[in-house]
Amino acid sequence: MNVASDSNWEPDPELLAAYFDGEFEGRPELADMRARVEAWLEAHPGAKEEWAAHRKLRTLWQETTPAEPADAAWQETLARIQAGQRGSTETRRRVPWLPLLAAAACVYAVIALGWGIAQFRNTPEPSALPVAIAPKEIPPPQDEPVEVLPVADASEITVLRIDGADTATLVVGLLPVDGDLELADPGEVRIVHCRACPRGVVPHVRQGENRPMIYARADTD
Partner 1 sequence: MILQCAVAIGLVLVAFVPCPAPGEKDPVKVTLVVILAKEDGNKIDPRLKAIADEVRKLHPQFKSFELKHMETKSFKPGEKVSLPAVEKKNVEMIVKRGADKENRVELWVTAPSLGEIEYQTVCGKFLPIVTRYNTKNQERLILAIRVQPCRGD
| Eight-state DSSP code of residue 215 | E
Is 118 one of the binding residues for partner 1 (CB under 8 A)? no
Does the protein bind partner 1 through residue 177 (CB under 8 A)?
Answer: yes
Our CB check for partner 1 shows the closer of 144 and 219 to be 219
> Considering beta carbons, is residue 137 or 185 the nearer one to partner 1?
185
Going by the DSSP 8-state scheme, the letter that residue 90 receives in this structure is: H
- Pick the piece of the chain touching partner 1 (CB under 8 A) from 35-43, 101-109, 145-153, 156-164: 156-164
172 binds partner 1 (CB under 8 A): no
Choices 20-28, 41-49, 124-132, 174-182 (CB under 8 A): range interacting with partner 1: 174-182
Calculate the alpha carbon distances from 146 to 36, 149, 203 in Å. Answer: 97, 9, 62
Distance from C-alpha of 34 to C-alpha of 24, rounded to nearest angstrom = 6
Question: Does 157 interact with partner 1 (rule: CB under 8 A)?
Answer: no
CA–CA separation, 174 vs 158, rounded Å? 5
How many CB atoms within 10 Å of residue 207?
Answer: 14
Dihedral of CA 86/91/97/101: which sign?
negative
Asked whether 174 and 159 are in contact (CB, 8 A), the reply is yes
Asked if residues 173 and 157 have their Cβ atoms less than 8 Å apart, the reply is yes
Size of the site for partner 1 (CB under 8 A): 45
Q: Which of 4, 107, 171, 218 binds partner 1 (CB under 8 A)?
A: 218
What single-letter amino acid sits at 27?
R
Which of 133, 161, 168, 171 binds partner 1 (CB under 8 A)? It is 161
Asked if residue 157 lies in contact with residue 176, where contact means CB atoms within 8 angstroms, the answer is no
Any contact of residue 206 with partner 1 (CB under 8 A)? yes
> What is the DSSP code (8-state) at residue 167?
G
Would you count residue 214 as binding partner 1 (CB under 8 A)? yes
Tell me if 160 contacts partner 1 by CB under 8 A.
Answer: yes
- Residue 203 in contact with partner 1, rule: CB under 8 A: yes
Assess 213 for contact with partner 1 (CB under 8 A). Answer: yes
Q: Is residue 200 involved in binding partner 1 (CB under 8 A)?
A: no
Residues that bind partner 1 (CB under 8 A): 158-164, 167, 175-177, 179-185, 188-198, 201, 203, 205-206, 210-221
